[in-house]
A and B are shown apart, each in its own frame.
Chain A
Amino acid sequence: MAAKPASRPDRLPQSSDERDAAEVTRSADGRERSLHQQVERLVNEDRRERPAVGAPQAPGEAEGEVQRFSLLFRVQHVLLFLSTITLIITGLPLRFPNWRSSAILFAITGGVEGSGLIHRTAAALLIFVSVFHMGYIILTAEGRRQLFYLLPRKKDFQDVGHNVLYFFGRRPARARFDRFTYFEKFDYWAVYWGVVIMIGTGLTLWFEDQAMRVLPKLAVDMAKEVHSDEALLATLAIVVWHFYNVHFNPDNFPLSWTWWTGKISLAKMRREHSLEYERMMAARLARPQAQPAGGAPAGGDGDQAGPGAADVRQPAPRPDDE
């Protein structure tokens, strides 16, 4: 029976979602609330970081934490950002030569030739990381699993729409995500776009004499233009978008340590990757308590609970998980 709760500030429900949500039930603490209010309450509870008591841990994990990223995963990311930041610092002054910081950088590094040397060293590192990563996602089981979770799906596009509607107040809660949210997938695949362009044009500029044996000068001029423009785009995307998602976001501000430790708190996982959380906890609860034998760390993702567990291939997140 739909009764209008006294203190509810919203307007009358318009869509089917909201009509369902308006069903009032008696929630756990005895107060009458609509489903809408209950969900919001849960969300807000999570924000107060109440510990998930009794959640099963994998060996090597501290209480309340999950190992989200393996060491190999983190090392690749560190190498990636070290090389990228170096490339940005040594490259941007060439695009903005009138800035005071550009003159300072060139003075420190020994002019264009010195900063060029550093730039090309970092570029070599980036090429190495890229090739290594290709090997990782193709040749290792762990890598293949990560790639599987990173593939864009219809649900991601639906999540974008759902979140935007939520931002405008037309959905009761945010979209629920599996291991990687749509913005994390965007961050990942955008790197492919950027790296292919930057390495392609960068090598053309680095080995200009050889390139101009087959390319006309205009092509090399284009390569320079594209290299410069894409560098600016990638820099802005990283500094604005990626840094907001991982650091400047009010949940994580001032700094998230997951990239270093690889760990994520259970509460945060429940909040940000709830589908993965549910699946992981279900898998752990379903298995008998496996004692650490052989010391396999909980690498890769939380699905593997230990050496005794079968390597289950996780099904794709169900599309009705909203």
Chain B
Amino acid sequence: MRPIRRHWGLLFFAALAAAVAVPASPAVRHAAPSPLAAARQVMPAATGSGAVTPRPAPQGAALTDDVCLACHADRALKKTEPTGRVLSLFVDRSALGASVHAQLNCVDCHQDVTALPHAKGLEPVDCGRCHYVQPLAKPSPTGVKVRVPGVHQRAVEAGMPNAPVCQTCHGAHDVRAPSDPASRVSRGHVTETCGHCHLEEFSQYRSSVHGVALAAGNRDVPVCTTCHGSHSIESVSAATSRVAPGAIPETCGRCHNSEPLARKYEMPSERLTTYRESYHGLANRFGSLRVANCASCHGAHNIRPSSDPQSSINPKNLPRTCGHCHPHATQNFARGKIHILPVRSESFSLWLVSTAFKWFTIAILSGLMGHIALDLYARRRERRALRQGGL
């Protein structure tokens, strides 16, 4: 008894440390779960039930992760929704520990859990409490404030079932930083994440020249977010979209008009320039929506090199591709470079014609202007003679 009374402070702190240390034990590093498996744990779509109001911090150590995981670490834990859909309520502790939110408590996100047992239907977690993007636009029903309401955001607001929220793409309990190769939104995995809903585009992309290179480990090829953006993804028909007809040339041109990349991959380097100087490019630049842009001929997701027999720009397929807009297109459409400039490196004959005309114009105009200059000079002399003539 006497040692306990004497060292009660030390004992108290030791007990406290023990209580705190146990839940903070280092997580066991398992292999990251496959994104497909993790997707099944995604929260259901937002029901648009109103903004989540900010609340004070969770009370004390009563609601630690251990307490939550006492039930939710059970793999068999699930709930059945009124629609018949079955949701697993299993939370993988190791995945949680490996995520970027490992330092947070469950109740830091699940703010509506204040006491146990908690209510049957919890609110969807509002990531915007911490992750909102300035400047603030109008708050949406889910409380997530984004800079520009994109097409996904609008789907959520409209109450579409299966409309993606943050957790759809980033995961719920296994959120990793995009730079982490295991993250669902890393370069290596984001196409699968998007492909969850956009199945056709995903399968087209996978066999495209970009997809094949990506699978081989290429770090330069575009993935979905490169062209479409990540959070303010606009519909293709919106004027502000990066893949709107007027913007596609610049989006593709970021890589295909770049000298360093052209040298690295032995690609032609002036694709955007040749397009912009062509009639298609000029019409596109000045607002025509009908005229061909990069995707019209090359495709959007199924871009293949011209040597590929399935490619839309294979010479055998060109009449069909061009024929979408030019009726009865024949093989003549393929006889001659498509991207062309009157410079020597691109087309000798065109350069010849252009240069010949340039010199012809210069010669003729020099002659004509010389004649005019001499005429004026002679008139000046005549005027002087007139004055000196004394008449």
Q: Interface residues, chain A, CB within 8 Å of chain B?
A: 9, 40-41, 43-45, 47, 94, 97, 103, 106, 111-113, 164, 166-169, 174, 183, 208-209, 212-222, 224-226, 229-230, 232-233, 236-237, 240-241, 244, 249-250
**Main SS of chain A's interface residues?**
helix
A9 and B328 CA atoms in complex are apart in Å by 77
Contacts of B365 in A (CB 8 A): 233, 236-237, 240
**Main SS of chain B's interface residues?**
helix
- CB pair B368 A112 closer than 8 Å: no
A229 and B354 CA atoms in complex are apart in Å by 7
- CB pair A216 B347 closer than 8 Å: no
- CB pair A241 B377 closer than 8 Å: no
- CB pair A225 B386 closer than 8 Å: no
- CB pair B361 A229 closer than 8 Å: yes
- CB pair B361 A232 closer than 8 Å: yes
Kindly provide the distance from the CB of A211 to the nearest chain B CB, expressed in whole angstroms.
9
- CB pair B329 A250 closer than 8 Å: no
- CB pair A216 B336 closer than 8 Å: yes
A111 and B289 CA atoms in complex are apart in Å by 10
Kindly provide the distance from the CB of B173 to the nearest chain A CB, expressed in whole angstroms.
52
Give 29 CB contacts A-B under 8 Å: A43-B382, A44-B385, A47-B382, A47-B386, A94-B282, A103-B286, A106-B286, A106-B287, A111-B283, A111-B286, A111-B287, A112-B282, A167-B378, A169-B378, A209-B329, A212-B332, A214-B332, A217-B337, A218-B347, A220-B336, A222-B349, A225-B342, A225-B354, A233-B365, A236-B361, A240-B369, A240-B372, A241-B368, A244-B372
A61 and B221 CA atoms in complex are apart in Å by 80
- CB pair A229 B372 closer than 8 Å: no
Instruction: Please pick, from B332, B369, B388, the residue contacting A216 in the complex, using a CB distance under 8 A.
Output: B332
Contacts of A164 in B (CB 8 A): 371, 374
Given A112-B286, A169-B381, A226-B357, A40 and B389 contact (CB-CB distance below 8 Å):
yes
- CB pair A213 B330 closer than 8 Å: yes
Given A41-B389, A240-B365, A215 and B332 contact (CB-CB distance below 8 Å):
yes
Kindly provide the distance from the CB of A157 to the nearest chain B CB, expressed in whole angstroms.
14
- CB pair A218 B358 closer than 8 Å: no
Contacts of B347 in A (CB 8 A): 218, 221
A111 and B333 CA atoms in complex are apart in Å by 26
Contacts of B375 in A (CB 8 A): 167, 249
B132 within 8 Å of A by Cβ? no
Kindly provide the distance from the CB of A21 to the nearest chain B CB, expressed in whole angstroms.
14
A224 and B274 CA atoms in complex are apart in Å by 14
A216 and B337 CA atoms in complex are apart in Å by 10
User: Other CB < 8 Å A-B pairs besides A217-B338, A229-B358, 6 of them?
Assistant: A9-B388, A212-B326, A212-B330, A221-B347, A236-B365, A237-B365
Q: Which partner residue on chain B sits nearest A102 by CB separation?
A: B286
- B side interface size, CB within 8 A: 51
Kindly provide the distance from the CB of B384 to the nearest chain A CB, expressed in whole angstroms.
10
Kindly provide the distance from the CB of B358 to the nearest chain A CB, expressed in whole angstroms.
7
- CB pair B335 A218 closer than 8 Å: yes
Contacts of A40 in B (CB 8 A): 382, 385, 389
A44 and B376 CA atoms in complex are apart in Å by 15
- CB pair A97 B282 closer than 8 Å: yes
Given A167-B377, A213-B332, A217-B332, A241 and B382 contact (CB-CB distance below 8 Å):
no
Which are the 5 A-B pairs with shortest beta-carbon distances? Answer: A217-B336, A218-B336, A216-B335, A167-B374, A229-B357
Contacts of A97 in B (CB 8 A): 282, 285-286
Question: What number of residue pairs across chains A and B have CB atoms under 8 A from each other?
Answer: 124
Q: Which partner residue on chain A sits nearest B283 by CB separation?
A: A112
- CB pair A221 B374 closer than 8 Å: no
Kindly provide the distance from the CB of B333 to the nearest chain A CB, expressed in whole angstroms.
6
- CB pair B372 A241 closer than 8 Å: yes
Contacts of A215 in B (CB 8 A): 332
Interface centre among A183, A221, A244, by most chain B C-beta atoms within 10 angstroms, is A221
- CB pair A240 B368 closer than 8 Å: yes
B391 within 8 Å of A by Cβ? yes
User: 8 Å CB contacts to A: which residues of B341-370?
Assistant: 342, 347, 349-350, 353-354, 357-358, 360-361, 364-365, 368-369
Kindly provide the distance from the CB of A60 to the nearest chain B CB, expressed in whole angstroms.
33
- CB pair B349 A218 closer than 8 Å: yes
- CB pair B350 A222 closer than 8 Å: yes
Contacts of B368 in A (CB 8 A): 237, 240-241
- CB pair B357 A217 closer than 8 Å: no
Kindly provide the distance from the CB of B90 to the nearest chain A CB, expressed in whole angstroms.
57
Instruction: Please pick, from B333, B350, B388, the residue contacting A225 in the complex, using a CB distance under 8 A.
Output: B350
Kindly provide the distance from the CB of A184 to the nearest chain B CB, expressed in whole angstroms.
13
- CB pair B374 A168 closer than 8 Å: yes
B334 within 8 Å of A by Cβ? yes
Kindly provide the distance from the CB of A55 to the nearest chain B CB, expressed in whole angstroms.
22
- CB pair B332 A224 closer than 8 Å: no
Instruction: Please pick, from B286, B291, B382, the residue contacting A44 in the complex, using a CB distance under 8 A.
Output: B382
Contacts of B358 in A (CB 8 A): 229
A218 and B349 CA atoms in complex are apart in Å by 9
Q: Which partner residue on chain B sits nearest A210 by CB separation?
A: B328
Kindly provide the distance from the CB of B96 to the nearest chain A CB, expressed in whole angstroms.
55
Q: Which partner residue on chain B sits nearest A37 by CB separation?
A: B389
Given A44-B385, A218-B337, A226 and B288 contact (CB-CB distance below 8 Å):
no
B379 within 8 Å of A by Cβ? yes
A113 and B286 CA atoms in complex are apart in Å by 9
Instruction: Please pick, from A167, A209, A221, A250, the residue contacting B340 in the complex, using a CB distance under 8 A.
Output: A221
Q: Which partner residue on chain A sits nearest B375 by CB separation?
A: A167
B26 within 8 Å of A by Cβ? no
B12 within 8 Å of A by Cβ? no
Contacts of A212 in B (CB 8 A): 326, 329-330, 332-333
